[in-house]
Amino acid sequence: MHSNKRSENLDFPLEELRERLYDAVDMVVGLYDGIEQKKLFASNSPAEVKALFNEPLPSSPSDIGSLLQRVERDVFKHSTLNISPHFYAYVVSGGNHAGLVAELLASALNQNPGKWNLGAAAVELELRVVRWIAEFIGYDPEAAGVLVSGGSAANLTCLKAARDFKAGFDIRDSGARAGAPLTMYVSTEGHSCLTKSADMLGLGKESLRKIPVKEDFTIDLELLERAILEDKAAGFVPICIIGNGGTVNTGAVDRLALLAGIALRHNMWFHVDAAYGGPAASTPSGRELFAGLKLADSIATDAHKWLYAPYEAGVALVKNKEALRSSFSMMADYLRDVDGTGRHDSTEYNFELSRNFKALKVWMAFKAYGAEKIRAAIEGNIQVIQHFAHLIEATPDFEMLAPASLSIACFRYRTGDPQFWNDEAYLSPLNKKILRELELDGRVFLSGTVIHGKQALRTCLVNHRTETAHVEYLLRILREVGQSSHTSLHRVEQEVAM
C-alpha cells in the first residue's frame, strides 16, 4: 500500500520513541543516583565549556542515541548540580520528582494556556493552581492570577496593574508623560527586578524610591512616610509601596501590616514581593512574620523556589481581578472566539500569549505530596538553617553578620587567630577567596553577599533534600577550605611585606 507519509515528518517511529524515552529515564535516574557524593560544579573555564558546543549549524541528522550520550557527557557533567542537598547558593530549589515527571507529560501535550480553546485542561489547571497557591500562603483564594516565568515577571505584572490602577489618568493610552510623575517605594534591600520594572513601566529607575533599612534589614517606616509626604509636596504622585516578603540578601520580612496601613492612608497600592519567602507564610515559624500579607493588593511569589517546583514557575496574584484584566486586556480580531461563554483567556491577564504548561508540575506536586508535606519541608528548611546559625555562633572561627531569617544565614570565616578578627582589610579578601576555592572544590556550593560593607558567605536553603547532617558537613568543609585559604593568603601577604 502506498504511504502518504512525508519525508519531512520529524517524528520517530513509536517503538524508537519508546526506546529513547527509556534511555532518557535511565539518564535521569543515573543523575540522582549517588547525588550526595557528586561534585556540584565542574570547575571548567568559560572557554572550555564554550569549546564543547563550538560547532557549525548541523545540516544532516545525528543518531539520537549518540546524541543522548553526548548530552550526558557534555551537558549533564557541565551543569551546576542544584538538585544536590549540598547546594545553598542564591535562592534556587532542587525541584521535585512529581514535577520532573509532569514536565515530560506537559512537553508531550505541548499546550499553550493563553486561550481556553488552545488548552482547556491547561487553563483550568492554572486557575486551580493559582487558587491553591493563594490559599497556601494565606491570601485571598478568589484573587486573580497567572503563572509566569518567575519572580521578576510576577513583580512586573503586579506593578503594571498597580501603575494603571493608581495613575489617575489613562496611562495605557496616553503614556506616563500625560500626567504627574508617579513614584513607588521599597527598601534598599529590594530585589533588582523592581528597579528594572520601574524602568520597563516607563516611570524611570529614579521613580522607585529606595528607603533605608533598620538594623534588622526591614524598611524604616518613619523614613518611608517622610519620603511619601515630601514627594507629594514636590508634585509627585505616590502610587505603590512594595513590601519585602523575604529579601534575597538576608531573608528579612518587612512589617507588612504596618506597610498596608501606610498605603491605605495615602491611597496607594500595596504590593508584596514574596518571590522567595511567600510559601513560608504557611509555616509555624513564618506565620507571624507574614502577618499582614493578606492585606496586599498584589503578591509575587515563586513556585520554583519554596514550593520546590522545577524551573520555571512564578505566580502573580492580584486581589482585584478587574484591575489585572484592565491592565492587559487587548483582544485582537484573530483571537476572538465564536463562543466565549465561560471561557477564561489568560492572555487577557498578562503580557504573554504564548506560554508553556507550567501548572501541571505544580498541580501534580500538590496532589502527589499534599500541602501538609510541602509545608513541613519548608518548616524543615527553616529549622535546619537555624541549627546551622547556632553552630556558627558557637564556634570562634566564624561569625554571623546578620540575623538568620527564614532559611538564609549570612556569616564569614574569621580564622582561629583573634589577631585577624577585626582586620576588615584582610577578612573580606579572605572570604572572597573562600568562595572561589569552594567553587573549585565542588563538594558544596554557596554564594556570597555584602553585609554592612563586609564580604559575607551566604547560605540559602530551599531544598527539601537537605537535612541537619548536611549543614554539619557544610561547616566542616567551610572550616577546611577557610583554613587552607587563610594559610595561602597570609603567606602571600607576608611575602609582599618582606
Q: Check whether 7 has a pLDDT greater than 90.
A: no
- pLDDT at 6 (0 to 100): 59
Q: One-letter amino acid identity for 93?
A: S
- Tens digit of pLDDT for each residue in 291-348? 999 999 999 999 999 999 999 999 999 999 999 999 999 877 777 776 667 899 999 9
Asked if 102-329+341-369 and 372-497 have one fold, the answer is no
In sequence order, what are the residues at sequence separation of 6 or more whose Cβ sits closer than 8 angstroms to the Cβ of residue 394? none
Q: Read off φ and ψ for residue 338, nearest 5 degrees.
A: -75, -25
Q: Contacts by 203-206 with C-beta closer than 8 Å and gap 24+?
A: 203/163, 203/176
Coil, strand or helix at 174:
helix
Q: Read off φ and ψ for residue 238, nearest 5 degrees.
A: -70, 125
Q: One-letter amino acid identity for 186?
A: V
Q: One-letter amino acid identity for 443?
A: R
Residue percentage of the chain with pLDDT more than 70: 97
Alpha-carbon distance of 465 to 263, in angstroms, equals 39
Predicted TM-score (pTM) of the model is: 0.96
Overall fold of domain 372-497: Aspartate Aminotransferase, domain 1 (3.90.1150)
Q: Read off φ and ψ for residue 325, nearest 5 degrees.
A: -65, -45
Question: Residue 145: beta bridge partners?
Answer: 317
DSSP state of 293: G
Coil, strand or helix at 444:
coil
- Tens digit of pLDDT for each residue in 81-96? 999 999 999 999 999 9
In sequence order, what are the residues at sequence separation of 6 or more whose Cβ sits closer than 8 angstroms to the Cβ of residue 204? 198
DSSP state of 376: H
Report CA-CA distances (Å) from 432 to 162, 247, 252, 326.
Answer: 40, 22, 23, 48
Alpha-carbon distance of 145 to 126, in angstroms, equals 9
Measured N-to-C along each axis, helices 424-441 and 468-497 cross at an angle, to the nearest 10 degrees, of: 120
Mean pLDDT (the chain, rounded): 95
- pLDDT at 498 (0 to 100): 61
Other CB atoms within 10 Å distance of the CB of residue 483: 15
Give me the residue spans of the domains in the chain. Answer: 102-329+341-369, 372-497
- pLDDT at 333 (0 to 100): 74
Report CA-CA distances (Å) from 398 to 188, 362, 413, 450.
Answer: 27, 39, 4, 16
- What totals of helices (H) and strands (E) does the chain contain, helices first? 16, 11
Domain 102-329+341-369 has CATH 3.40.1360.10: no
- pLDDT at 338 (0 to 100): 66
